Amino acid sequence: MEVLLPRTLEEALEIKAARPEAVPIAGGTDLMVELNFDRRRPALMVDVSRLPELREWRRENGTVFLGAGVTFTRIIRELPEFVPLVQASRTVGSPQIRNRGTVGGNLGTASPAGDALPVLAAYDAEIVLAAAGGRRRALPWHQFLVGPKRHAAAPDELILGARWGIVRGPGSFSKVGPRNAMVIAVASLCLVMDEGARAFRVALGSVGPTILRAPEAEAFAVRALADAGAWDDPRASLSPPALQEFGERVAAAARPIDDVRGTAAYRRHACAVLARRALAWAFEDRRSTSRSS
Ligand SMILES: Cc1cc2nc3c(=O)[nH]c(=O)nc-3n(C[C@H](O)[C@H](O)[C@H](O)COP(=O)(O)OP(=O)(O)OC[C@H]3O[C@@H](n4cnc5c(N)ncnc54)[C@H](O)[C@@H]3O)c2cc1C
């Protein structure tokens, strides 16, 4: 097996242009498992973990760009204001996995159970792709994630990172699994409340072939808050029946299957519970923020 160690992004992209079969390796926490189990044996790998261009994150005009090579440990340390992303990062594997594992690797694997992915979907992120000669393109997350473990990057492209608009409002990520750490999600959910646009975004992981949004539940929550006069009143909440209905609508958006980790019925139930909790937490956050300001 040949492993190439480019020092710059352009060098890496030239390698991909000349030899598109080269498999990128970042933290290796997915790829090395595949190699160890002999599921994959690429003849050529290109190490992208040293590329400075992939390791940066920055704010730019109301948006944030998160480089593909930023690890989960760095997200926890350096991006505390992005609460759902930090919560998702904290649940990834163990400290060792979080020290190596990257957002780009999560996107590259494109598993419906990738914990960063529902957050990027709820942020309505676009995925930025790069090819040699300065070619760049950005795909909305739902055009990038096209199926279970399938994404839309071309063979000569690398994932540069993800970009999304910064919103004001509470949000959370939560997941269900048989234990509290080192667990692949049986179901996961990210809820983002956008106070500025008066919108909700809810994304689900591990309950479909890829990450799913719950547009009917999102629209229901927007209407329910308007009916309750809650957009203008941070102390207001929704009634228990409205929370219940929100949970049911989120569960209806799931497209789960039975597998070794859980039944479809359990996963739907988990979505409803996670959704009700996430909405209740959002209201609590608004109340406590309004008390402290
Ligand atoms: C013990 C253990 C526990 C885990 N727990 C979790 C968990 O709780 N939640 C979770 O979501 N994941 C978990 N994972 C999976 C893994 O850690 C994550 O998916 C991580 O984000 C992968 O990142 P990486 O940098 O290690 O990717 P790598 O293994 O280096 O690469 C993964 C894939 O992405 C591609 N790739 C990487 N970077 C790029 C790039 N810049 N451009 C194009 N393609 C690229 C690679 O070619 C490969 O196909 C776990 C893994 C292990 C071994």
Indicate whether 129 pLDDT > 90: yes
What pLDDT, in 10s, does the model give residues 32-84? 999 999 999 999 999 999 999 999 999 999 999 999 999 999 999 999 999 99
- For ligand 1, the distance from its centroid to the CA atom of residue 40, given in whole angstroms, is 15
| Ligand 1 atom at minimal distance to the Cα of residue 108 | 34
pTM of the entire predicted model? 0.97
Residues in the chain: 293
Q: How far is CA 26 from CA 47, 71, 138, in A?
A: 6, 10, 20
Indicate whether 4 pLDDT > 90: yes
- For ligand 1, the distance from its centroid to the CA atom of residue 106, given in whole angstroms, is 5
Q: Apex CA 196: angle with CA 191 and CA 198, to 5°?
A: 60
Question: Cβ distance 30 to 105 under 8 Å?
Answer: yes
Report which secondary-structure segment, H or E, holds 83. Answer: helix 83-91
Query: What is the structure's pLDDT at 290?
Result: 83
Domains of the chain: 2-46+56-165 (3.30.465.10), 181-292 (3.30.390.50)
The residues pairing with 206 across neighbouring beta strands, listed in sequence order, are: none
How many Cβ atoms are within 10 Å of 58's Cβ, its own excluded?
A: 11
235 class by beta-carbon count within 10 Å (0-12 exposed, 13-18 middle, 19+ buried): exposed
Query: What is the structure's pLDDT at 114?
Result: 98
Confidence of residue 110 (pLDDT cuts 50, 70, 90): very high
Give me the mean pLDDT over the 251-279 stretch.
97
What pLDDT, in 10s, does the model give residues 146-174? 999 999 999 999 999 999 999 999 999 99
